[in-house]
Amino acid sequence: MTLFNPSLQLIESLVRRDVPACAYIHDLDALASHARDIVSNLPPQSEFFYAIKANNDPAVLATLAPIVTGFEVASAGEIRKVRQAVGPKARIIMGGPARTETDFLTAIDHGVERVHIESLHLLHMADMVAARAGTKLPILIRINMAGPVPGATITMGGQPTQFGIEEAVVDEALRLVKECKHLRFDGFHLHTISNNLDADAHAVFCKEALRRAREWAGRHGLEAKVINLGGGWGVDYADLARRFDIPHFSRKLAASIPSEGTMLQFECGRIVVAYCAVYVTEIIDLKTTHGETFALLRGGSHHFRLPSAWQHRHPHKVLASRRWPWSWERPGIEARTVTFTGELCTPKDVLIRKENVERLSVGDIVCFLAAGAYGWDISHHDFLSNAHPERVFLSDNASNAIERLTA
């Protein structure tokens, strides 16, 4: 099972020693191995795109490029990041609900393979931009399916959200797309579920999505050459040993895959990168105020926002460091309930709330496991303009075993 879980000795050998520790450490070899395992267990007639919103670090993109089919992006900026990190030959597909003329033009200019259209207005706009560019833009239509969606912690369809064209007007959308002479209809995008841990329930959803897609296309004499079932394969942060069962999901879905000529696409992010990085930060102070004890960290939610964004207890370990460079007595506590906070001037900057600890000292290291997805990338880095964490990349295959980037 892939899970990067470094020792204190490894962490201290990698981070700077002249300042309190604060770093993201990525195991790129573990990432490559984990990605190969995912891809090798896909259902037949499938392509796997990495959704870079989870982590768009150039080293991560370059590591995944030889393994995944391509990259799913959600902005013009993400298009440019893929091109800069991977090059002109990388396959890119583009989604997202709020598109502009510039987005469509950037997609055309950078050779994006296909754009997912999420409203009738955007069908008109995409057709106009493609006409001005003298090209035909391949598209999928994203449908917000009706009905309850099983097994997810976040749903993007089956209920009121800003995503996709509601299923009630799918016929109007398909009539309109046939009138758009500079668009090429390739099929449907049906991403509805995020962070689903139930492979059986996800297979049930995907089977129903495939059935409806064939029905919609058939009513209008269209061919759905591509059906994008999105991502949403989850990570259980409360139990990292519990994994979304990709082989089981693939077996359950296999019998419902359309005949040859239809390609399934998946676009996953979290499940690819979460397990292969950690966020480490040093305790720089301990204090008790009004009966509650706080451990203050050299870092916080501006580096690693996921725990506060999801309001969950993120998996972590505390590593008791023996280093103490100062002449005065080292502050420490025993048998206490502690809240771990960051360096921001707001009481909202909490990474772990009311944790029972046996022993804790200033200078100890808190290591947040499974921190590779939606950590740095969703955080408000420059609030208060604190220093960024180090970024350390481990790889036995690289010419340099360790690449260290310091902001």
Which residues form the catalytic set?
345
CA distance readout (Å), 344 to 296, 309, 361, 377, 380 = 10, 16, 21, 18, 11
Cα–Cα distance between 24 and 26 in angstroms, integer?
Answer: 7
Contact 266, 42 (CB under 8 A): yes
How do beta strands 332-341 and 22-27 pair?
unpaired
Q: Is 310 exposed, middle or buried (0-12, 13-18, 19+ CB in 10 A)?
A: middle
H/E stretch holding 11 reads: helix 8-14
String of DSSP letters for 203-242: HHHHHHHHHHHHHHHHHTT----EEE----B-B-TT-TT-
Dig out the tokens for 215 from the structure: 């029905």
CA distance readout (Å), 273 to 126, 137, 359 = 32, 31, 32
Q: Is 407 exposed, middle or buried (0-12, 13-18, 19+ CB in 10 A)?
A: exposed
Q: Which positions ≥6 away from 89 have C-beta within 8 Å?
A: none
SS3 193: strand
Q: 348: which DSSP letter?
A: T
Dig out the tokens for 390 from the structure: 């180090």
Dig out the tokens for 81 from the structure: 């990041």
Backbone angles phi, psi at 132, to 5 degrees: -65, -35
Q: Where are the beta strands (DSSP E) in 250-349?
A: 263-268, 277-289, 292-297, 316-319, 332-341
